[in-house]
Structure 1
């Protein structure tokens, strides 16, 4: 029967996807050349299935993303030192709770194609035991990264918030450009934004494993 044959094909497709997610993670993608001096440290922070940026809260960050304070993100709180930024599928990413609360519909929609959103949250100092991946760039590269992220807002001049309870008490979501699907994931977004800022990463990094591999090859300290 056709559906039985399809069941046999699926494992092969998953294996091919994982293989390409590994090979292309160690294949360098095109990097935009960005000049600049100085030194800025950012972090990559991992959740169970994807990575987010942690950007230092400085004058550049607060100026570029100050609009989020209108929707409850406390950038000006005395304890706020980092801005978390992530990109993902609207239905899947904005679910309140943990991944067990995500519906099958949202999962399938995300895999096949869904509208995208950007998430912002303010974090305080990171505990010493908190695991992140550090990445140092020039001030020019940092400004290029900020510009690349802002360009992904659906309306950068007047960002459109997405009504949702959020994943924390202090985050906010905004409509973004591009559609999310299996071949354009939150993890490919991370590496694409880094390459646009002059940072070497793999050409296609759809899985957390892909980001870790690409980072370890080109960006790991030492």
Structure 2
């Protein structure tokens, strides 16, 4: 009869590995929920007057919607109509997101998600992109939350977004084709990982500007609960 000891040991080892991974995933989710409940800038309040930005949630990723240009900040040197597949689709507001380069380029929809792409993004990479959608002036909705901020907070938010663009030797942004006619990717700074996700990027931009949000926001709901 064939010996079964080696096969059984391998199965037990595989079971232990799977149990460890499940435990790690559970701990990560709990830590993400806990981190998002801890307020940073806890005494922040919306000013009676100021500028309105929007936090956007597509169910997985969050981003920030700002005017393309106003008296406080101007993105038109970085984000230009000719970068789009159809320049006529340029609009007066921009939806900014940030994430892993390979994940963005290889996953235009959740139906395109591959296991190796997701695992690579969790492990992390030095290659990241800013994703910019041109949008009309947004209206408040369940997934589009308005926030009124002071001019100083607005400038810090805009500066945080600008700093994410990786510029070429001439100081220009570096566009790549987007998913459609009204969006575009740009080479970005920063390392994506399970710790620094697209949603944590949104939270960090707001925290650094002085807006009240969770201490660590790796998930979309951890950002949106504050607005």
- Scaled by the length of structure 2, the TM-score of the pair is 0.81
Question: The residue matched to 1:169 in structure 2 has which SS?
Answer: coil
| Corresponding residue number in structure 1 for 2:172 | 158
How far is the alpha carbon of 1:95 from its aligned partner? 3.3
CA distance in 2 between partners of 1:130 and 1:74 (Å) = 29
| Corresponding residue number in structure 1 for 2:101 | 90
How far is the alpha carbon of 1:30 from its aligned partner? 6.5
Contact 2:35 2:214 survives alignment (8 Å): yes
How far is the alpha carbon of 1:9 from its aligned partner? 1.6
Contact 2:55 2:63 survives alignment (8 Å): yes
Query: Aligned ranges for residues 166-205 of structure 1 at < 5 Å?
Result: 166-205=178-217
Contact 2:130 2:165 survives alignment (8 Å): yes
Does 1:21 find its partner at 2:32?
Answer: yes
Alpha carbons of structure 1 residues 175 and 37: separation in structure 2 relative to 1, 3 Å:
farther
| Corresponding residue number in structure 2 for 1:104 | 115
Question: The residue matched to 1:210 in structure 2 has which SS?
Answer: helix
Contact 2:72 2:151 survives alignment (8 Å): no
Aligned length: 209
Question: The residue matched to 1:117 in structure 2 has which SS?
Answer: strand
Structure 1: give runs of 5+ residues left out of the alignment. none
CA distance in 2 between partners of 1:189 and 1:129 (Å) = 22
Does 1:135 find its partner at 2:114?
Answer: no
How far is the alpha carbon of 1:72 from its aligned partner? 1.8
Contact 2:55 2:224 survives alignment (8 Å): no
How far is the alpha carbon of 1:143 from its aligned partner? 1.1
| Corresponding residue number in structure 1 for 2:20 | 9
Could you say which structure has the larger radius of gyration?
2
Does 1:58 find its partner at 2:72?
Answer: no
| Corresponding residue number in structure 1 for 2:60 | 49
Contact 1:57 1:75 survives alignment (8 Å): no
**For structure 1, which segment, 41-50 or 182-191, has the greater mean C-alpha deviation from structure 2 after superposition?**
41-50
How far is the alpha carbon of 1:158 from its aligned partner? 1.8
CA distance in 2 between partners of 1:210 and 1:13 (Å) = 19
Question: Could you report, residue by residue, the CA deviation over 1:35-94 in whole angstroms, capped at 9, with x for unpaired residues?
Answer: x995111111111311011112332577334332131288986x8232110001101112
Question: The residue matched to 1:183 in structure 2 has which SS?
Answer: coil
